[in-house]
Amino acid sequence: MKLQIQTGLNNKILRKKAEEIKNISDEKEFIEELKKFLKKSDDWVWVASPQVWFSKRIFLAQFDKKNTTVVINPKILKFSEKKVVWKEWCLSLPWIFWDVERSKKIVVEYFNENWKKIKMELKWFWAIVFQHEFDHLEGVLFFDKLVNWEFEMDKKMTEKDLEKLWIKV
């Protein structure tokens, strides 16, 4: 199985709500491939399955090169009212690096790769990244949530227009 990052504002897989996992044993091979794929990178921290053409509710978090967390069928149970604006970037939209507003703290629930239910509170960086990857599973890209966009979010801009802006910056 060869995994490759998918890009594009209008990519059909990236814009589709991912399917819930019903049986973890059906996904074991994919999870192992995704772990290998993530470990090859020097700077990626997280990757969602729709980013590699697999529209299932799975993403991986790599806190360091030795420990990878598998997040299956995640839910965000609570968002803090306190928000933070953070510069985000995405493997699927590599030409954009911009401000996005996210909840500063969230409470999440998901299954790990052993099908154990995990519930935890995440703050700051990890809360922001979890929300970003969760959005991928919902068919939402961070471009949809940009703030302080000086061009007033011209939705008619094409990917080529955005790439030109990136190069000029």
- Catalytic residue, candidates 133, 150, 159, 163: 133
Is 81 catalytic? The answer is no
Query: What is the Cα–Cα distance from 65 to 4, expressed in whole angstroms?
Result: 20
Distant-in-sequence, close-in-space partners of 132: CB < 8 Å, separation ≥ 6: 46, 88, 90, 100, 102, 142
Distant-in-sequence, close-in-space partners of 125: CB < 8 Å, separation ≥ 6: none
User: For residues 86 and 100, is the Cβ–Cβ distance under 8 A?
Assistant: yes
Q: Looking at the annotation, which residues are catalytic?
A: 133
